[in-house]
Amino acid sequence: MSQLNAIGLDVKKSEVLAEKLNVLLANYSIFYQNTRGYHWNIKGEKFFELHLKFEELYNDLLMKIDEIAERVLTLGHAPNHRYSLYQTQATITESTQVSEGIKAVENILDSFQKIISQQRELLDISADAEDEGTNALMSDYIRDQEKLVWMYSAFLG
Element (H, E) at 27: helix 11-41
Over residues 4-39, the pLDDT tens digits come to 999 999 999 999 999 999 999 999 999 999 999 999
> Measured between alpha carbons, how far is 62 from 60 in angstroms, rounded to an integer?
5
Give the residue extent of every domain in the chain.
11-156
pLDDT digits (tens, 9 = 90+) for 91-117: 999 999 899 999 999 999 999 999 999
| Inter-residue contact 89 to 23 (CB < 8 Å) | yes
In CATH, what number does 11-156 get?
Answer: 1.20.1260.10
